[in-house]
Amino acid sequence: MKISPSQSWRLKDSLYTLTLGKCKKCGNIFYPYQTICPQCGSMDIEKIKAKGTGTLLEYTILYQARDGFEKQLPLVVGLIRLDEGVDLVAPLTDVDTSELKEGVRVEAVLRRVRSDSSNGLIQYGLKFKVVEDAKPD
């Protein structure tokens, strides 16, 4: 999927920050942000910015990728529980796959996802990296 510079600008909040929704009626916190609570159906939703830190619950290593992403192989994808209690699936970056363990602390970082040679746009996105001083024993 190619994103134009104007689309990238319009989507910057959803592409470059972890915006959660918090229902004022039932207290449910969810990701991605949406205007209706998926638990109770309330439309009284507050936007909250996640701290961007959490714990790696599970992960998998992919050795095949979609067209245009071959240079990123092997791709490590993890199930992450944010400190706010929300689970999400996200790519991991800057990891040594031989030392990766479930239960490590991770934090969101902005990384280049790909470059579009036709219009010169560099697309960035959120990935997670292991917090070095918080590795479990």
The 10s digit of each residue's pLDDT in 32-42 is 899 999 999 99
Higher per-residue pLDDT: 89 or 119: 89
- How many residues does this entry show for the chain? 137
In the predicted structure, residue 10 carries a pLDDT above the cut 70? no
User: Pick from 53, 72, 54: which is nearest to 62 by CA?
Assistant: 72
Single-letter code of the amino acid located at 122:
I
Q: What is the pLDDT of residue 97?
A: 82
- Residue 119 is predicted with a pLDDT of 60
Look at residue 71 and tell me whether its pLDDT is greater than 80. no
Q: What is the reported pLDDT for 85?
A: 94
Q: Tens digit of pLDDT for each residue in 17-30?
A: 789 999 999 999 99
For residue 86, what pLDDT is reported?
95
Structure tokens at 69: 């992403």
* pLDDT, tens only, 78-114: 999 999 999 999 999 988 888 789 999 999 998 777 6
| pLDDT mean over 41-50 | 95
Max Cα distance, the chain (Å): 47
Per-residue pLDDT, averaged over 44-50, amounts to: 94
CA distance linking residue 18 with residue 92, whole number of Å:
15
Band of residue 52 on the pLDDT scale cut at 50, 70, 90: very high
Region of 94 (left: φ > 0; alpha: ψ -120 to 50; beta: rest) is: left
